Amino acid sequence: MSSLGLVVLIPTTILFLILFHSFRRYAKKKDHNIPPGDMGWPLVGETFSFMKPHLSTTVGGFMEQHTTRFGKIFLSNLFGAPTVISAEPELNRFLFKNDTRLFEPGWPRSFADIVGRSSISFLVGDAHKHMRSIILDFLSAERIRTFFLQDMDYLASILLGSWTEGSVISSLDEATKFSFYIMVKNILSIGPEDPQIEWLRGEFNTFTKGLISFPLKIPGMAYWRGLQSRRNLLELLNQEITKRTKEGDNTNERTKKDDFLGWVIKNTDYSLEKIGDLMLHTLFAAHDTTSRAISLMIYFLDSSPEIIAHLREEHVGVLNSRRQNEESNLTFEDYKSMEFTQCVINETLRLGNIVSHIQRKVSADVHYKGYLILKGYNIAAHLSAVHLDPSLFEDPHHFNPWRWLCSSGVKKTNDFMPFGGGARHCPGSEIARLEMAVFLHHLILKHDWVVAEPDHPICVPYVDFAKGLPIKVRAFIL
């Protein structure tokens, strides 16, 4: 066959196969009950509408329009892939319950390029179970009660104690410092006094922005800068790993026993690449969402003097109890006694919606309530839509911590899923809640505050404050 014939035949054959495959999928759709929806434009689908910024205390125009038009389960085209979006709590629970059997990680490739393909978000089967067990073994109840709580209490006291009378501070920046310092100390044994700590924080800020940006590998763009930061951070981590493996038993006791990097080196045979991806992912996941949750808590409390008064009563009680017991530092028993604080944390996570949705890929055809969700589709469990559903939460756009109180303590409901669920439930959920409670304890006892200028939480798609939520502080006198 001539070269010209091949030039014509090859693309024609490829086009035929694509059309044949599309026809089969379309025929399967016609023969079964695929969820209704709108696939939008070719290639990009409805991605831009879905990603359009909106207040994090709302579901946004895209979800409002689509659930009104199609119901709580509908089909869209996001990031070039057919995606079933669920605003139904039962389907979301079904997804989490069957996470490893019917579903697999469904994050975009661009996410993997920055966070790392060997990170826990992309592992499946035994590899995922093993890495998760390594993380959970490190985050033992005893370690949380001791090292983590001690570091949180100390850092919150120092950080919030440095706020001067009448100063205007960025609550998002301060919350980020607090959470980042805690995690870097416990993961890499780098303290807040270390000269490289601010360089690390800056690199992680760039890394995070690249993670959720449009994947354009153009110099100067957020995604490109995120990839550069990944390389910079991995270089530092690789140097530290090499140093520790060479030092062996000469490594000091604090490092050997207490930080996550040492734990992983000691308890796994992971490659340098896998350890690097695990450290990057853990540092990102462990501090970014928590710092935003703390900022949201400050934002909601600013307009809630009655809630602040109730919190103060609880935390003054904790302080007085500690004095009676001649204890200078917060204990885990103090934390467990903060019942109303737990309600405030729940309500912050429900209304603030730090993580609006969790995405998976369908690994086998799923039949659910008469619908067929095809293998190869993506599926997004939309947590915000459930948390703001008026049929599940009365007056859902109102910040009301008392909704969580009941006669037996803090109410539990399986419609509340801020940390996901199932085999991929966030392993750091207890640490995140503890950080929020400790920060709030010191804030309530040390300061009064007002938001210095209007600034509202926007989902872009992660929660952010355009101005960093500036607050003006003044000392609170007991």
Domain encompassing residue 86: 17-98+354-387
Task: Please tell me whether residue 464 adopts helix, strand or coil conformation.
Answer: strand
Quick check: is 77 in a domain?
yes
Domain membership flag for residue 360: yes
What's residue 49's pLDDT?
92
Domain contains 92: yes
**Residues 6 or more apart from 63 whose CB is under 8 A from it?**
85, 87, 382, 384, 385
What is the block-wise mean pLDDT of the chain (478 residues), using blocks of 10 residues? 47 45 44 84 88 94 96 93 96 94 87 90 92 94 94 96 95 96 94 92 91 84 94 93 74 59 93 93 89 97 95 95 82 95 98 93 94 96 97 96 91 93 92 98 96 94 92 91
CATH code, 26: 3.30.43.20
Residues 6+ apart with CB under 8 A from 268: 130, 134, 275
Name the helix (H) or strand (E) containing 353: none
| Within-domain flag for 370 | yes
Flag whether 463 is in a domain.
no
In a domain? residue 271: no
N-to-C CA span, the chain: 91
Residue 459 is labelled as binding a ligand: no
Number of structural domains in the chain: 1
> Is 461 in contact with 318 (CB distance < 8 Å)?
no
In a domain, 216, yes or no: no
Looking at the DSSP bridge assignments, the partners of residue 457 are 465
Indicate if the alpha-carbon torsion angle 47, 423, 427, 127 is positive or negative. negative
